[in-house]
């Protein structure tokens, strides 16, 4: 049975009080009028009801939910598609069933203009608030996410296909990120420098303005939080474009920010594909673009942003090495290899898919990793015991399976998996499932070793010496992540220093604490997300020089 409904948002009085306090505390009457981006002002039909009530999302089962609500969000509410110059809608699929979940209406020039104007209006108020005031509102947003954790995770699973076990972790990382930057917001400060004669200089760290975030489909809600939290903490506004394949949960984040008390239009969501992204990158009112996705798209975003000399943050693809030395804890190394390859159905940009194993432990490693890989439970991603859900789409599933076929043709051995998985559950028959795959007898020249597959495919390669594996590991155009398993502390530090990647995991893999920066070397991008350093990518530094005496002039 399909479920489609819309109810009024139930806003607790305590939250309304906090939101009202934030508004009165920081705004003059004229600024409060500027914050109102009403339907009367814009000619739009703004919906201020929740996308779906909590009870519906919590009770949803795989294959039962159908969304008919608008998925664009600006001016503090969801915006109905314009009938004038409307673009054709695009179907959004539920990966576990292959059925249509909703229709996505892409934004054109008029809608992008409205969203940017909405953000510019909110920026005038938000940028004048103190860091402590901004932080309080962000803490409230983090609290609401914790409160709604289960329904957000359920919606993420339905739209993305990953297991509910992983989705809950993603939502936790999202609120932790917002909470972390809420704490940083009040610490943003400049530097004071004493100059001769009683004069002095100081620096001011100022917001950029309207920032654009362009997300990926593998971590829809988490990426929206990773991009918006530092931007908002620094005093910016944001227009966020999620992937057209996962448009839903970014809207929930927008609703949560609004509920927490941000000015109307501070965080906006525009739906669309390449055209919409291009409009955002080329818009003269946009001050910065942060993108997560493929290298080719990242290059295009750099080119478009360069036309207005906009700073960009690019988190792009990877083909990361995981190096396992013979002195490691074999059990930990096997678990690390599974974490490095099979989280989120292998659809993780920093995955360690080139697994280099020192030759004298190759056989026991393969035996254990194959045994554990065969034990991974595939199935309904909303079921508690499931550990591998569905890939994002049918074309992507076919692409990943094509890599496995090509690997076999090039001489690799499939030790397990690499085939379509057909569930006994009737509702999952058309889902985009495959069995996780381990390839042996791989060589550095094979396509499966050189190109990013973005699926549950592990390529295992033997090596003999530290010097040899270091050279092979760095022989790639990518540089997003790397990993080392060894008990030798000196070796661990040597490898971490010499591996050409933005992150090096030692005796673990795919840990992502929000306190630590994340980003790539080489063609995996530049700029960082998370950690205190990200403040530098969402702010600009102004120098002020104060002369306290007379001006000396040679003229």
DSSP characters over 204-228: EEEE-SEEEEE--SSSHHHHHHHHH
Percent of the chain with pLDDT over 70: 92
Whether residue 228 is predicted with pLDDT greater than 50 in this model: the reply is: yes
Q: Which residues pair with 116 in a beta bridge?
A: none
- 341-373 confidence digits (pLDDT tens): 999 999 999 999 999 999 999 999 999 999 999
Res. 270: pLDDT tops 90: yes
Residue 22 to residue 16: CA distance in whole angstroms = 10
Burial of 405 (0-12, 13-18, 19+ CB in 10 A): exposed
469 and 323 Cβ atoms separated by less than 8 Å: yes
Which has the closest alpha carbon to 403: 416, 392, 421, 419?
419
Closest Cα to residue 312, out of 447, 203, 208, 205? Answer: 208
pLDDT score recorded for residue 150: 96
Band (pLDDT 50/70/90 cuts) for residue 37 is: low
- The whole-number pLDDT of residue 48 equals 80
CA gap 214, 270 in Å, rounded? 10
User: What is the sign of the dihedral through the CA atoms of 256, 257, 261 and 264?
Assistant: negative
Between the CA of residue 288 and those of 135, 212, 374, 466, 533, what are the distances in Å? Answer: 22, 6, 45, 41, 16
Phi/psi for 52 (5° steps) reads -150, 145
Please indicate whether residue 40 or residue 44 has the higher confidence score (pLDDT): 44
CA–CA distance, 373 with 357 (Å, rounded to integer) = 17
Nearest to 449 by CA among 494, 415, 411, 504: 411
* pLDDT > 80? residue 1: no
Q: Residue 168 above 70 pLDDT?
A: yes
Question: pLDDT > 90: what percent of the chain?
Answer: 87
Residue 99 CA, chain-centre distance (Å), reads 25
How many H helices and E strands in the chain? 18, 21
**What's the farthest any 2 CA atoms get from each other in the chain?**
89
Mean pLDDT of the chain: 92
* CA-to-CA separations, 53 to 252, 269, 510, in angstroms, rounded: 11, 19, 33
- Of 202, 129, 231, 134, nearest to 536 by C-alpha is 231
Of 276, 89, 212, residue with least CA distance to 80: 89
Average pLDDT over residues 503-513: 97
Residues 171-209 pLDDT 10s: 999 999 999 999 999 999 999 999 999 999 999 999 999
Burial class of 24 by CB neighbour count within 10 A (0 to 12, 13 to 18, 19+): exposed
What's the pTM value of the predicted model, to 2 decimals? Answer: 0.91
Distance between CA atoms of residues 122 and 112, nearest Å: 16
pLDDT for 473 equals 98
pLDDT of residue 80: 86
Residue 331 pLDDT greater than 90, yes or no: yes
d(CA 388, CA 403): 19
pLDDT digits (tens, 9 = 90+) for 424-482: 999 999 999 999 999 999 999 999 999 999 999 999 999 999 999 999 999 999 999 99
Among 118, 184, 109, 171, smallest CA distance to 145 is for 171
Name the residue among 508, 506, 534 with its Cα closest to residue 519.
534
Determine contact, residues 456/396, Cβ cutoff 8 Å.
no
Q: Which one is catalytic: 140, 151, 264, 315?
A: 315
Sheet holding 200-207, edge to edge: 192-194, 200-207, 539-546
User: What pLDDT score was predicted for residue 14?
Assistant: 35
DSSP string, 485-512: E-S-HHHHHHHHHHS-SSEEEES--S--
Residue 91 has which token pair? 């179907």
Instruction: Tell me: pLDDT of 40 over 60.
Output: no
Contact 427, 60 (CB under 8 A): no
Q: Is 552 a catalytic residue?
A: no
The full DSSP string for 69-91 is S--EEETTEEEPPPSTTPPPPEE
171 SS3 class: helix
């Amino acid at each position: 049975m399909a479920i489609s409904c819309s109810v009024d948002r139930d806003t607790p009085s305590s939250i309304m009080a906090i939101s009202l306090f934030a508004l009165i505390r920081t705004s003059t009457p004229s600024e409060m009028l500027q914050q109102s981006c009403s339907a009367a002002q814009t000619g739009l039909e703004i919906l201020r009801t929740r996308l779906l009530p909590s009870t519906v999302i919590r009770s949803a089962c795989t294959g039962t939910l159908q969304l008919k609500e608008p998925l664009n969000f600006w001016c503090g509410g969801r915006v109905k598609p314009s009938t004038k110059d409307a673009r054709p809608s695009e179907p959004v699929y539920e990966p576990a069933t292959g059925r249509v979940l909703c229709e996505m209406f892409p934004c054109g020039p008029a809608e992008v203009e409205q969203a940017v104007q909405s953000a510019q209006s909110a920026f005038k108020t938000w940028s004048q608030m103190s860091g402590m005031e901004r932080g309080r509102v962000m803490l409230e947003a983090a609290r609401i996410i914790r409160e709604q954790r289960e329904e957000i995770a359920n919606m993420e699973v339905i739209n993305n296909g990953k297991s509910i076990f992983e989705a809950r972790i993603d939502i936790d990382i999202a609120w932790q990120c917002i909470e972390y930057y809420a704490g940083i917001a009040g610490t943003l400060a400049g530097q004071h420098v004493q100059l001769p004669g009683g004069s002095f200089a100081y620096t001011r760290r100022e917001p950029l303005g309207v920032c654009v975030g362009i997300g990926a489909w593998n971590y829809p809600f988490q990426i929206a939080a990773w991009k918006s939290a530092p931007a908002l903490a620094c005093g910016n506004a944001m227009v966020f474009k999620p992937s057209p394949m996962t448009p839903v949960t970014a809207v929930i984040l927008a609703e949560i920010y609004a509920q927490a008390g941000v000015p109307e239009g501070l965080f906006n969501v525009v739906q669309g594909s390449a055209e919409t992204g291009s409009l955002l990158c080329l818009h003269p009112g946009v001050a910065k673009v942060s993108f997560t996705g493929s290298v080719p798209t990242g290059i295009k975003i750099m080119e478009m942003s360069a036309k207005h000399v906009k700073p960009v943050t690019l988190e792009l693809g990877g083909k990361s090495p995981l190096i396992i030395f013979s002195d490691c804890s074999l059990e930990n190394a096997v678990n690390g290899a599974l974490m490095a390859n099979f989280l989120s159905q292998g659809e993780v940009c920093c995955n360690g898919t080139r697994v280099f194993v020192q030759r004298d432990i190759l056989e026991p490693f393969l035996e254990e990793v194959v045994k554990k890989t065969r034990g991974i439970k595939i199935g309904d991603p909303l079921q508690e015991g499931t550990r591998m859900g569905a890939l994002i789409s049918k074309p992507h599933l076919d692409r990943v399976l094509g890599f496995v076929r090509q690997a076999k043709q090039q001489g690799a051995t499939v030790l397990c998996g690499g085939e379509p998985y057909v569930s006994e559950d009737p509702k999952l028959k058309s889902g985009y499932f495959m069995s996780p795959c381990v390839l042996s007898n791989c060589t550095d020249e094979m396509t499966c070793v050189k190109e990013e597959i973005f699926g549950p495919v592990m390529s295992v390669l033997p090596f003999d010496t530290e010097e040899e594996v270091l050279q092979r590991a760095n022989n790639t155009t990518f540089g997003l992540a790397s990993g080392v398993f060894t008990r030798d502390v000196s070796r661990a530090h040597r490898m971490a220093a010499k591996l050409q990647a933005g992150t090096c995991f030692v005796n673990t893999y795919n840990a992502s604490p929000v306190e630590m920066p994340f980003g790539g070397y080489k063609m995996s991008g530049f700029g960082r997300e998370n950690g205190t350093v990200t403040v530098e990518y969402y702010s600009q530094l102004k120098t002020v020089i104060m002369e306290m005496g007379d001006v000396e002039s040679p003229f």
